[in-house]
Amino acid sequence: MEEKTTEIVQTEEKVSALSKFWLCLADCLCGTANGLLTGGGMSYFFVSYLGMDEKLASIVWIIFGIWNAFNDPLFGYISDRTKSKLGRRIPYIRYGAIFYAVFFIATWVKWPIGQSQTALFVQMLVTLFLFDTLYTAIATSLYVMPYTMAVSNKARSNIFLWKIFFTLISLGVPLVLFPMIKPNPGESARQFQIIMTVLGIVIFAVIFASTFFYKEKVQSENEETENIFRAVISCFKNRSFVIFEILSFTVIFIQTILMQGVIYYFDAYKNVPMAFAYGALGLGAVFGVVLFASKTSSWGVKKCTVLMCIVFAIGATVMVFFGKFLPVALACFFTAGMGFAGGMYLIPLMNGDVIDYDESVTGVRREGMYAGVNSLITKPAISLANAAFLMIIAWFGFDKTIKTELQTPLAKQGILVAWMAIPAILLVICAFSLKFYPLAGEKWQKTKKELEERHKND
């Protein structure tokens, strides 16, 4: 009986390929613009090219960090209460696109307010504030769209498979493009500015046009009168959300610390070729996507996530002690690839279930609020990961005045510990916490089916 119910939920809903393509393409270009600007491009342009003082630039980023942590829940709260014929999210995507592109283009043009350090400080702060505000509005809306386009995990998982591919593009383009086109100090920035302007126009056109190819199927009128603080508290009363946050925090922490660790690892252990390691990582990611996509329907999101955590934790633990040996390293990179695939595929599915459960209890959809509170919790993981890595390698005697390959054996071992030990611990905690995750089994599948029926004619 359970298998029959599950099958119904998974096969009735369909999301067209055109809708998935345009949603993921818009999300990709939105992320690409953000990656170019906040991924080091703005700091380089203002400090290295325009000559802004590093301390002033650091102050800008500190102020931004504070705003960036709290604007997500604020926007989620507002968007959940938005009423429009277009839906709650699409107006922000469609009409925010033009301002998003304008602020992106304006970042790379010196404003006519003078050449002083104060003028540069004001321009950088204002531009970053405006750009991030629009990014939050658009990116958060795009992030929750899969949860409003479908209810069943079968339909949503197909969207997330598309998103994995496009996310890799949005991560890779800034890393490759910016170093190729950035203006060197003293050179004209004209060509660079033209490229950024054209890119901004393309970003606007794609994001704007995309809103005509998908719609919010799952909607409800939110008549709640609770203020934003009570709304945040109500999220944490949802036990499934608390457990989800443990995993979400872990995923962001691991993604950050792994990307930082590879910078040191390949310099410390020259016997591990980068190409081979990344090849194993890619194979692991492909294997993980195929495995989890094929087994989610029969095993369920919860069991697949437990498996992902255990496999990734074993690989990380082995890497701590034996990561200097090539065969072991390649095997561990493979398990890390599986972990990345799980993080990009399974965690969004779990997030959708958490939101669906909230609706089943409260009768309203609060995707924006949950997305915002998730960002509030996970964004500190980025800072903590960077700080933890640097502190641990310092404890093991890492000497920043000499090259990584010339460090002592103890310092090199410290790189492996800083890189993989905390992720292994967090993954074990995640696997254990899932024991208390309630959204699984026949009862939950019945609830999902009821929600799908409720929204079938939306």
pLDDT of 7 reads: 43
d(Cα 420, Cα 258) in Å, to the nearest integer? 8
Closest CA to 249 of 11, 22, 77, 429: 429
Residue 165, pLDDT > 70, answer yes
The mean-pLDDT minimum among 20-29, 72-81, 175-184 falls in 72-81
Closest CA to 358 of 206, 200, 241: 241
pLDDT of 345 reads: 87
- Fold entry, domain 18-210: Growth Hormone; Chain: A; (1.20.1250)
* Mean pLDDT, residues 243-266 taken together: 84
CB-count burial class (<10 Å; 0-12, 13-18, 19+) for 418: buried
Q: Mention every residue, 6+ apart, whose C-beta is less than 8 A from residue 295.
A: 304
d(Cα 102, Cα 106) in Å, to the nearest integer? 6
- Considering the segment(s) 232-454 as one domain, its CATH architecture is Up-down Bundle (1.20)
pLDDT tens digit sequence for 203-243:
999 999 999 998 887 655 554 556 677 777 888 888 899 99
First to last CA, the chain: 28
Same fold, 18-210 and 232-454: yes
pLDDT of 196 reads: 95
Q: How confident is the model at residue 426 (pLDDT cuts 50, 70, 90)?
A: very high
| The model's pTM | 0.70
| Positive/negative CA dihedral, 127, 128, 130, 131 | positive
Query: How far are the Cα atoms of 134, 348, 367, 400, 439 from residue 147, in angstroms, in the given order?
Result: 21, 9, 7, 46, 16
pLDDT tens digit sequence for 321-379:
999 999 999 999 999 989 988 888 898 889 889 988 888 888 777 777 787 788 778 77
Quick one: how far is CA 90 from the chain centroid? 20
User: What is the three-class DSSP state of 417?
Assistant: helix
Q: Mention every residue, 6+ apart, whose C-beta is less than 8 A from residue 394.
A: none
pLDDT of 18 reads: 92
Output the furthest CA–CA distance in the chain (Å, rounded).
72
pLDDT, mean over the chain: 85
- Residue 110: count of CB within 10 angstroms of its CB: 16
The mean-pLDDT minimum among 45-54, 147-156, 182-191, 448-457 falls in 448-457
Question: Domain map of the chain by residue range?
Answer: 18-210, 232-454
Q: In which element (H, E) is residue 141 found? A: helix 117-149
For residue 435, the 8-state DSSP code is G
Alpha helices (H) along 300-441: 301-322, 326-362, 367-395, 409-433
- Residue 39: count of CB within 10 angstroms of its CB: 16
Query: How far are the Cα atoms of 316, 347, 403 from residue 247, in angstroms, in the given order?
Result: 16, 8, 35
* Own/partner pairs, 407-413, CB within 8 angstroms, 24+ separation: 407/268, 412/268, 412/269, 412/324
pLDDT tens digit sequence for 372-405:
788 778 777 776 787 788 788 889 998 877 888 8
